[in-house]
Amino acid sequence: MTPAVRHPAEPAATPATTPPTSPARRRRAPKPPSALLSRAGVTAVLALATVYTLAPLTWLLLSSTKSRADLFGTNGFALGEEMHLAENLRHLFSADGGVYLRWLANTVAYAGGGALLAALFGVAAGYAFDKLAFPGKERLFALVLLGVMVPGTALAIPLYLLAAEAGLVNTFWGVFLPGLVFPFGVYLARVFSAAYVPDEVLEAARMDGAGEFRAFCRIGLPMLAPGFVTIFLFQFTQIWNSFFLPLVMLSDQDLYPVNLGLYVWYSSALAQGHPEDYLLAVVGSLVAVAPLIAVFLMLQRFWKSGMTAGAVK
């Protein structure tokens, strides 16, 4: 949670006897238990919802360890007859001349590289909108907000048509360049800059004769580091998620991101009746998702702060 979001609890209103625990626990005294509103009832409902969210992931994990016969022959929420994970992984990384590794590398380049630059450009622009005076500022910002309103998927065909003119169809750049632009990130960066970078500090730097650009690099950017990570994560998920754009832009398998590759494997399994490709898409999905989940668990502080900054303000 960011300082911009957290509303300080009024100390005067807190009874002296309340133990200093988390805000949610502090504010409520134990209630007389009624059927659904009891501790057990509430926890049971949450547990049920958790079963719903975790079951498909459990299925993915278990299925990745099965042989093809077990995939179709055993219960999806139970282990198979034999442990087949190593064979599946070997098959995954050797299929179609090892193209899966290539897809992973592409995805890291599209999503990682793209989001890194998009976050840098977004933070710089948001900082400028917040801290610097220049003519036409609010009108320009309105243009950025317009960009927030145009949905990404609706832009895929326009991007394709322009890329066709520019000769960028079926190239790395056709997918990479659109990822560099993240108008919502600029909006977020402006919010973060107003919250994290005190004007007094900049005034002091100006007094000391630091140029504006230097002040941004030395003071603004370091103070905006948490905002930078948040915007990076947002854009990273967005690019990692994108499917329509690569689907229309790319025909060369070597340029595919993981998403598109898995889709092609899956549809070819269906269309050409290659049952072994069924497993390929399953194991490929697990390998693509596992690191992503790990990153999310490690960086939860940042995605939470970004989500709440965007919504609670």
Q: Does 105 bind another protein (CB under 8 A)?
A: no
Size of the site for another protein (CB under 8 A): 117
From candidates 87, 91, 116, 263, binder to another protein by CB under 8 A: 263
Residue closer to another protein (CB basis): 90 or 301: 301
* φ and ψ of 38, to 5 deg: -85, 165
Q: Does 298 bind another protein (CB under 8 A)?
A: no
From candidates 19, 20, 23, 97, binder to another protein by CB under 8 A: 23
Q: Does 121 bind another protein (CB under 8 A)?
A: yes
State the Cα–Cα distance between residues 240 and 115, nearest whole angstrom: 10
Q: Does 207 bind another protein (CB under 8 A)?
A: no
Residue closer to another protein (CB basis): 60 or 99: 60
Q: How far is the CB of 183 from another protein (least distance, A)?
A: 7
From candidates 16, 35, 86, 149, binder to another protein by CB under 8 A: 149
Q: Does 172 bind another protein (CB under 8 A)?
A: no
Q: Does 248 bind another protein (CB under 8 A)?
A: yes
| Helix, strand, coil percentages in the chain from 3-state DSSP, rounded to 5 | 75, 0, 25
Q: Alpha helices, DSSP H only, in 132-274?
A: 137-149, 156-166, 172-179, 183-196, 199-207, 212-215, 221-223, 225-241, 244-249, 258-271
Q: Does 160 bind another protein (CB under 8 A)?
A: yes
Binding mask 176-195 for another protein (x = CB under 8 A): -xx-xx-x--x---------
Q: Does 281 bind another protein (CB under 8 A)?
A: yes
Residue closer to another protein (CB basis): 85 or 307: 307
Segment interacting with another protein, rule: CB under 8 A, options 27-35, 81-89, 95-103, 224-232? 27-35
Q: Does 292 bind another protein (CB under 8 A)?
A: yes
Answer whether 212's CB lies under 8 Å from 146's CB.
no
Q: How far is the CB of 293 from another protein (least distance, A)?
A: 5
Q: How far is the CB of 204 from another protein (least distance, A)?
A: 14
- CA nearest to 58, candidates 289, 276, 295, 270: 289
Q: How many CA atoms lie within 13 A of 299 on its CB side?
A: 21
Q: Does 226 bind another protein (CB under 8 A)?
A: no
State the Cα–Cα distance between residues 31 and 25, nearest whole angstrom: 12
Q: How far is the CB of 60 from another protein (least distance, A)?
A: 6
From candidates 92, 104, 144, 191, binder to another protein by CB under 8 A: 144
Residue closer to another protein (CB basis): 94 or 267: 267
Cα separations (Å) of 311 from 183, 188, 196, 236? 16, 10, 17, 19
Q: Does 300 bind another protein (CB under 8 A)?
A: yes
Host H or E run for residue 123: helix 114-131
From candidates 26, 218, 274, 301, binder to another protein by CB under 8 A: 26
Host H or E run for residue 49: helix 39-63
State the Cα–Cα distance between residues 272 and 265, nearest whole angstrom: 10
Site for another protein in 71-100 (CB under 8 A): 71-72, 75-77
Cα separations (Å) of 180 from 32, 206, 224, 234? 54, 31, 19, 12
Token couple for 38 = 């009891």
